[in-house]
Amino acid sequence: MIASARKQTFDMIYFFAVGGACNVDPRISKSILYIYSLDKYHHQTNNYTGSERENIELFFRHFKQKIRDEIEKYDCDNKALLEKLYS
């Protein structure tokens, strides 16, 4: 992992997540807040308008919340996973 030795940027984190989501469970790809979204009139909205740090925090906050929402649909008893998600 060469990237782990460098300071990770929002772009590195985002593109790694999107690339990984293409090859795993579709619920993961639904958990990503994509750079752009479309409203009901198909107008494009930029979801990441803050600083590098704010964008990274927004990405992870959104991702963790969507994963929490998905896990709540199941009877998950993995205490380590639940503690990590809700900490």
Q: Domain of 52?
A: 3-62
Q: Does residue 87 lie within any of the structural domains?
A: no
- According to the model, what pLDDT value does residue 36 have? 93
Element (H, E) at 13: helix 10-21
- Bridge partner residues of 45 (DSSP): 37
The domain tally of the chain equals: 1
- According to the model, what pLDDT value does residue 84 have? 80
Q: Does residue 67 lie within any of the structural domains?
A: no
Q: Does residue 54 lie within any of the structural domains?
A: yes
Q: Is 20 helix (H, G, I), strand (E, B) or coil?
A: helix
pTM of the model: 0.75
Residue ranges, the chain, pLDDT below 50: 1-2
Token pair of 14 as six digits: 């985002």
In 3D space, the residue among 10, 6, 8 whose CA is nearest the CA of residue 56 turns out to be 10
How far apart are alpha carbons 27 and 31 in whole angstroms?
Answer: 6
- According to the model, what pLDDT value does residue 71 have? 86
- According to the model, what pLDDT value does residue 47 have? 95
Task: Count Cα neighbours of 37 within 13 Å in the Cβ-side half-sphere.
Answer: 9
- According to the model, what pLDDT value does residue 5 have? 52
- According to the model, what pLDDT value does residue 4 have? 56
